[in-house]
Structure 1
Amino acid sequence: MGFTPKGIYPAMLTPMTDQQTINEAALKQLTHHLIDANVHGLFALGTNGEFHLLNKEEKIKVAEIIIKETAGRIPVMVGSGGNSTAEVIELSMEMERLGADALSVITPFFIPPTQEEAAEHYKKVAEAVSIPIFLYNIPSKTGFHLEAETVAELAKEDNIAGIKDSSGNFENIKQYIQETKDKDFSVFAGTDSLILKTLQEGGAGAVAATANMLPDIVTSIYRYWENGEIEKAEAAQQELQPLRDTFGLATIPAALKKAVELFAVPAGPPKAPVKELNGDGLRQVEKMVAYYQSK
């Protein structure tokens, strides 16, 4: 199957220009910023990458740039999910052709499918490509929850390699780990507050939005855990909280884009209709960024 994903994969933002086009220079800069911080892989075109607001051409351009800039140094996982099975297969095949190492496929959304329909959807996508596929469970956004039994069934497929769980429910992550522990299957936390707990429970890593701004801190959680330095890992996990506390100040990913813009890389505005952060929210983000800059 290629590789079994593990470690910290930043949930990459998609930098935009003021004209609402992909900011190619900033995307290249972000890619290098993350690789230089020794992340284990890159995760593009997820929720924080605004996949749901980008057209097919934009998605392909983002993937192309990241894959080219990464140049095989670390794995690149690309979001190719959508609502119709045919649409997802088409985009997944395109991403494989571009050289993606793995695909993240969100559950269908808008009209929640049955567990059986979701399983069939994933099996058809898996048959259409040869690279590893990651399931992506985010019920607060999709209105649909992938049950642990369904995940266990899908884990039997040769190239379904893992799941990113962004439910925010640790019991759910535990169930996924329990149901797939006899398989070559990676369970990733998709909620940044649960990175260490997931690793301690037997999970393989995390897709972390906070790593756009603080890749050093996020990767240190994994490194400390790997070395058995649990107190240091816990301290690093706590150190993400001031940044996480700002996420709710605006529609995703406006607050994080502004934070990254002020801290490291010109991420630019969100894609319309999401508005750029301003007013009290902006002042809170500026204060938070100043806190990290002072350390």
Structure 2
Amino acid sequence: MTPVGIITAMVTPIDKTNKLNIVATKKLVNHLIDKKVNGLFILGTNGEFHVLSEVEKLRFAEIVITETNGRVPVYVGTGGNSTNQVIKLSKEMTSLGADALSVITPFFVAPTESELITHYQTIADAKIAPILLYNIPKNTGTDISRNTVEKLAEHQNIIGIKDSSGKIENIKGYIDASKNKDFCVLAGSDSLILDALQAGATGAIAATSNVLTEIDVAIYQYWLEGKIEKARMMQDSIEEFRRILKLGTIPSALKAAITYQGIDVGQPRLPVQPLDSESLLDVAKTIEYYKKNFFTEEDNNVPNNYTEPN
């Protein structure tokens, strides 16, 4: 299995009692699949994996995998600091039917390159679904090197890497290091979707596609069709939304935007706080701008021409 296209980095819906919101989760899954995403990526950074219990992670994965019912691949985050605990959770997620597993680098205590390679190889040797490496150094303090990717790409159960470093040079280096191997590179920084595709990435794991689903899908589709100018227009258009994502701590603004669109995914888990009223107004204004300038019912939600926001 080669991960391709736009894979949504899904949020985890939480209800008013601070428990998993099953109804909202099913609504979001079906909404995204109906909008033609190529996969769902759960329990990642925007999925708040770091503030969910293992029981909640397993329950959430079960809900998403069951509701998806094989319509698109489901990628499940199982990473952590303990190699043994990652293996345990990975085996459980594999049993639930995860198509692949995302394994973030250990954090808090940064491993050496040798330790990191051993960590991933040991996990991949277990009887689990294929794994994607997950590089997000600004959050973990560990940057997966090109040399590490070159070595790990040789393992038959390590199928790719999600790079959220924000550096196109990283993506290009990973692509070069894994050439001629059955290994894919996915952009994890939404601002680099098109640049990554042009460099040889197979797709992107995009948080913005929770909300700007049609636009992100259009970037990929236009790129496939060789319509680079249109793909670039769509890529540039997401910057206004990326601006409001910085109004609060991840994933507060993203959850507010999804809720404003009609699926109440709730508040972020503490210690992250919801947006203040002024920021919520900014989110609402921005979503209305996208509704007005990008999509019409007449063109079946195909991205329209747009104007700059006021």
TM-score range, shorter chain: over 0.9
Q: What is the CA distance between 1:187 and its match in structure 2?
A: 0.3
Aligned residue number for residue 19 of structure 1: 17
Aligned residue number for residue 148 of structure 1: 146
In structure 2, distance between residues paired with 1:252 and 1:266: 17
In structure 1, distance between residues paired with 2:32 and 2:240: 20
Aligned residue number for residue 8 of structure 1: 6
CA contact (8 A) 2:211 2:257 kept: yes
Aligned residue number for residue 277 of structure 2: 279
In structure 2, distance between residues paired with 1:61 and 1:49: 14
In structure 2, distance between residues paired with 1:264 and 1:106: 31
Aligned residue number for residue 247 of structure 2: 249
What amino acid is aligned across from residue 136 of structure 2 in structure 1?
Answer: I
Q: What is the CA distance between 1:264 and its match in structure 2?
A: 3.5
Aligned residue number for residue 58 of structure 1: 56
Moved more, 195-204 or 260-269: 260-269
Q: What is the CA distance between 1:280 and its match in structure 2?
A: 2.5
Q: Deviations over 1:25-61 (max 9, x none)?
A: 0000000011001111110000000000000011011
Q: Deviations over 1:103-158 (max 9, x none)?
A: 00000001011111111010111011342100000000001101011011000000
Within-5 A mapping of 1:191-206: 191-206=189-204
Corresponding residue SS for 2:205 = strand
Q: Over the residues paired in the alignment, what is the CA RMSD in angstroms? A: 0.8
CA contact (8 A) 1:213 1:264 kept: no
What amino acid is aligned across from residue 171 of structure 1 in structure 2?
Answer: E
CA contact (8 A) 1:48 1:209 kept: yes
Corresponding residue SS for 1:113 = coil
Aligned residue number for residue 41 of structure 1: 39
Q: What is the CA distance between 1:247 and its match in structure 2?
A: 1.2
Corresponding residue SS for 2:290 = helix
Q: Deviations over 1:58-109 (max 9, x none)?
A: 1011100110001011110000001100110000000000000000000000
Within-5 A mapping of 1:74-85: 74-85=72-83
Q: What is the CA distance between 1:273 and its match in structure 2?
A: 1.1
Corresponding residue SS for 1:261 = helix
| TM-score, normalised by the number of residues in structure 2 | 0.93
Q: How many residues of Structure 1 are paired with residues of Structure 2 in the alignment? A: 293
Aligned residue number for residue 301 of structure 2: none
| TM-score, normalised by the number of residues in structure 1 | 0.98
Aligned residue number for residue 136 of structure 1: 134
CA contact (8 A) 1:106 1:137 kept: yes
In structure 1, distance between residues paired with 2:238 and 2:167: 18
Query: Are 1:259 and 2:253 counterparts?
Result: no
Moved more, 121-130 or 21-30: 121-130
CA contact (8 A) 1:257 1:268 kept: yes
What amino acid is aligned across from residue 104 of structure 2 in structure 1?
Answer: I
Gaps of 5+ in 1: none
Aligned residue number for residue 180 of structure 1: 178
Gaps of 5+ in 2: 294-310
Q: Deviations over 1:159-193 (max 9, x none)?
A: 10000000001111110111111111110000000
What amino acid is aligned across from residue 118 of structure 1 in structure 2?
Answer: L
